[in-house]
Amino acid sequence: MAINAAKAVIKQGKTALFICDVQEKFAKAIYEFDKIVQNSTKLINALKLLNVPMLVSEQNPNSLGKTIPEFDISGAKGPFAKTQFSMCTPEISKELETICSGEKPDSIILIGIETHVCVENTAIDLRQSGYEVHTVADCCSSRTQEDRLLALERMRDIGCHITTSENVLFKVLRDANHEQFKNVLALIKTPTLYTGLVSISKV
């Protein structure tokens, strides 16, 4: 079967970041929440340096609270309140049409919670609309590890690229001569925290 490697490319200027429902009331319920927050914060800050536009959603914020203060979402579109289990609301979909300098992106970088609910439903809608979706596994979680890992498998099955925060950043940079390389590298030097994605077998 032929593999279209071009679909795995993330182009600066043709990519947007979706931040899905990382809200205050989830803090005590989500598996490895603090690590997900630290990894996501590094990714968000680096993508801001690279001028990647961002869209933020909040699931029923009257009950679940606002987006956590650790995230610098200044300049982002939103937060958009929603009740459906997908970020692809009419309001967000309209913003997406022109978010990249008046055009819609080719690719979406997707992070947030819960992986098996709002993240996965967002990924499904985005894929159905023709977007390449890069689900950042170390920036997504659920209440249980089982739900999280199985959701990542299902997203891979529908054509999402299951990736990590550091992989995404190097794909956007593409070249060590990028004007923001040193600034992004300073953020990358903070180790990405292990969130249980890969089992280490004992020999």
The pLDDT mean for the chain works out to 94
CATH assignment, 14-188: 3.40.50.850
Least confident of 39-48, 66-75, 86-95, 193-202: 193-202
Q: What is the pLDDT of residue 5?
A: 80
Q: What is the pLDDT of residue 203?
A: 36
Q: How confident is the model at residue 200 (pLDDT cuts 50, 70, 90)?
A: very low
- Average pLDDT on 140-144 reads 98
- Average pLDDT on 136-162 reads 97
Q: Which one of the listed residues 20, 21, 125, 138 is annotated catalytic? A: 21
- Average pLDDT on 146-152 reads 97
Q: How confident is the model at residue 96 (pLDDT cuts 50, 70, 90)?
A: very high
- Give the tens place of pLDDT for each residue, 19-53: 999 999 999 999 999 999 999 999 999 999 999 99
Q: What is the pLDDT of residue 1?
A: 44
The greatest distance separating any two alpha carbons of the chain, rounded to the nearest whole angstrom, comes to 54
Q: Which one of the listed residues 88, 118, 139, 140 is annotated catalytic? A: 118
Is the pLDDT reported for residue 131 higher than 60? yes
- Cβ distance 55 to 92 under 8 Å? yes
Please indicate whether residue 82 is annotated as part of the active site. yes
Please indicate whether residue 140 is annotated as part of the active site. no
Q: How confident is the model at residue 123 (pLDDT cuts 50, 70, 90)?
A: very high
Q: Name residue 28's amino acid.
A: K
Q: Which one of the listed residues 82, 139, 140, 160 is annotated catalytic? A: 82
Q: What is the pLDDT of residue 3?
A: 57
Please indicate whether residue 118 is annotated as part of the active site. yes
Does the pTM of the predicted model rise above 0.75?
yes
Could you tell me the residue ranges of all domains in the chain?
14-188
